[in-house]
Structures are given as C-alpha cells and as structure tokens.
Amino acid sequence: MSVNLASIGITGIFAAEAEIATAESNISNASNPNYSVESVNLQADAGANGAGAGVQVLGTTRGQAPYLNTQINSTQSSDNYNQAFSQASTVAQQILAPASGNDLSASLQNMFNAFTNLSVSPQNTTLRSSAIAALSQFAQADQNLSSGLTATANGQMSQVTTLIAQVNQASSQIAQLNQQIVAANASGQGGAALEDQRDGLINQLAGLIGASADAQGNVSVGGVPLVSGSSALTLSSVGSGASLGLQVALSNGDLPINSAQLGGTLGGVLSAIGSISQLQSEVNGLAASVATVMNTQASSGYGLDGSTGTALFTVGANGPIAINASLTVQNLGASATAGGVPGDGSNATALAAIANNQSLFASMPGSTPVQAFSAISGNFGALVENANNSQQQASASLQSLSQLKGSITGVSLNDQLTQLIQYQNVLEASGRAVQAANDITTFLVQNLN
C-alpha cells in the first residue's frame, strides 16, 4: 500500500485554509444576531489500494434550529402585536378615565345631583343655571371623550401605510434572496450567508404582520401568500376607520386577509383601531341613550315661562351629543305643570330619578347609567391589562428562545479560537507533508541521474 504524501498534503492545505477562513468568518460575525455558525464539509478521498488520498472541501453549512426559528417568529409576532395594541389602548384608557377623575361618569352624577337640588326649589334661577351648566358639562365630556378617541384611532391609522411599505420591502428582499440561494446551491457554492439574511427578514415579517415561512422561503400570513419562490406579492390596505383591512394583489384579483389572523405590529394596530372605535361607539351610545330619555322627560314638563316640549340635548345619529342651544333658565322644564302650582318640581325629580334607571342601556340590562359607564371602562381596562400581561410573557419567552437558539447556532469564541489553532497546526502539518514529498522526489531524481 502506497501513500501519496503530496496529494494528502495539498488537499490538507486546501481543507485547512477553508477551515481557517470559516473560523475567521465565525469570529468576525459573533456579535451578529442573524448569523449562524458555519462549518466546513469535508469528504475523504480514497486512493489506490485503499490508501487515503486526502480530503475534498465540499462547501460550508450553517448551524440550524428550524423548530426554534418557528417558535421565535411566532413569539415575535405575539410580542409586537400586544405591544402595539397596548400602546394605543393605554392612550385611549387615559382619555376614558383621566387621572383627574373628571370623566363621563362624574359628569353624569353631577347632572343628576343638579336636578335633585332643583327639585327642591324649581323656581330658583341659580339652581336652574347650575342644572344647565351640568347638562352642558355632560355633553362636553361626551364630545371631549369622543374626539380624543377619534384622534387616537386616526393616529394609529397613520402608521398603517408605513408598516405596509415595510412588509412589501421585506417580501421583495426575501424573493430576491430565494432566487440567489437557489442559484448558489446549484453552483455548489452554498448560500449559508444568504439563508441567514433570509431568516432575519422572515423574522422581521413575523414581527410586522405575523407571517410564517417554510424551508424554501415561501412566506404567508393567515394562509394568504406574501412570497412565493422568487415572486413577492403586494400588500395594500382596504376600507377605512374600524373597517380598515389588508389585502394581497393576485393575478386574478385582490385577496383579503382575515384580520383575526393578523399578528405583529400591523395586527396590533388594526386591532387597537377596532377596539377604540368600538369603545367610542359604546360611550356615544350610552350618552345618546341618557340624553334621549332625559329629552323625553324634560319635554313633558313646563318652564317658568309656561313653555313645554323643550329638549335638553341634540342627539345625532352616530356622533356625540350636544346641549340644546335654545335651552334657557326660563324654558327648562323642571315643573310638571304650567306654573299653576308654586314649588312644583316633580319633573326635576323625575329627571334626577333617571340616575336609577336600569333599563336605559340595552347592551347592559340591570345597570344604571353610571354603572354602565363603569362597566364599559372596566371591560376596556381588562383588554389593556391582558395585552400588557401577554406582551410581558411573550417578551420573556422570546428572550429564552433566543438564548436557546444561540446555544445551537450562535458562535462560541472559545471554540472558534481553539479550532483556529488546530487548523493552523493542520496547515503546518500539510505543508510539511508537501515538503517531504518534494524532498523525496528530489532525492529520487538526483540518484536516478
């Protein structure tokens, strides 16, 4: 059996150089969170009569943890979703229940208290002025709350265009990388670095919209494709306000994405817009119900001037209520008669008694107006709290999963430095094998001559 020292030495040099280059690449990218540790694929070459003929460098591969990647992307989606929802809904909650305590509930109670006071002395113009001021305060509180929630929802909607642009850009880059990876693998060069870039962009899409991907880089969200091979589809918005949604442009038409299946920042933003709009609708609905019942009761009474049928509020179809601009101290219907009975404040009493009406708000039977508002506020507060708790849990899970993945695909500087020394020794040994083969060849040539 003969051993080809020159062949072994030369292939050993190539292998050692490849190993050293890979180790240097690993070390220089150790701090890159999207980099996966790489290793050289070697294949032993067989020589004549079973003797070894060195090794062949087949390329490089990267460390992979596909299951963890899926878990990380899913958790990233949840983290971003709840963070976006929490940020928007917390602002809405502060508008709903300001730290000063001067909310819609307080203005409701003040209004009913004002009519209780007026019922004792219905001809007192000072108490009448106080009642009108309380009515105005209630209407203004509803207007301020409604406009604040509208501004908050609009602020969230202003982000959607930017987020959609980021999704389309990432999708386009993934499609390009898919094409480059296929070409690199076909040429035998390998696409480890390209695959790292693609994984980073897929994670970005998971955080933006809750997307998921397969091993070939095909990306989808809610079953709707965003990237198919080397083709990226275009995401766009459809609708407006609480009905704002997303769709993907296909060759045969636009395909909507189920909003309930959206994740990431975009999903959280759209969910927050919907929840804030629903909150606004409930608050305006409660205020309109109170105003309508009070209008009916007040219109049946009489003012100091003997007038009747005067409403307290104007109630629109969808917007907040407003105080009746024609309401005055004289025509406020606090009495149940046309002034014939001095001190008759029974209509003011009836207006004050609406505070105890438990059938006023259809969606919350058994609740008084103040209790209904407290329930609306409490339900929304629970949404905010759940989002905060979910975000904290997702953040902790994301950190744990990232650390676990790092132990598999991350770069250990100690290991790489140790291997670098080992590969340098191999390079030196291979060089000596080549030198030995050269010395033997020289000796044989000289002696034959």
pLDDT in tens, 370-379: 999 999 999 9
Question: How many of the other CB atoms lie within 10 Å of CB of 100?
Answer: 7
Residue that the structure tokens 């670095």 belong to = 193
Query: Residue 134 pLDDT > 90, yes or no?
Result: yes
Query: Residue 441 pLDDT > 80, yes or no?
Result: no
Query: Residue 13 pLDDT > 50, yes or no?
Result: yes
Mean pLDDT value across residues 193-220: 94
Query: Residue 269 pLDDT > 60, yes or no?
Result: yes
pLDDT in tens, 284-301: 999 999 999 999 999 999
What Rg value do the Cα atoms of the chain yield, rounded? 37
Across the chain, mean pLDDT equals 84
Confidence of residue 187 (pLDDT cuts 50, 70, 90): confident
pLDDT in tens, 163-184: 999 999 999 999 999 999 999 8
Question: Rounded to an integer, what distance in angstroms lies between the CA atom of residue 323 and that of residue 135?
Answer: 7
Q: How many CA atoms lie within 13 A of 436 on its CB side?
A: 14
Query: What pLDDT does 440 receive?
Result: 63
Q: What is the pTM of this model?
A: 0.81
Percent of residues, the chain, with pLDDT higher than 90 = 59
Question: Which one is predicted more confidently, 56 or 2?
Answer: 56
Query: What pLDDT does 445 receive?
Result: 64
Q: Which of 129-143, 214-228, 340-354 has the lowest mean pLDDT?
A: 340-354
**Geometric angle at alpha carbon 144, from 143 and 147, rounded to 5°:** 80
Q: Which of 55-69, 246-260, 322-336 has the lowest mean pLDDT?
A: 55-69
Query: Residue 415 pLDDT > 70, yes or no?
Result: no
Question: Which one is predicted more confidently, 369 or 360?
Answer: 369
Confidence of residue 336 (pLDDT cuts 50, 70, 90): confident
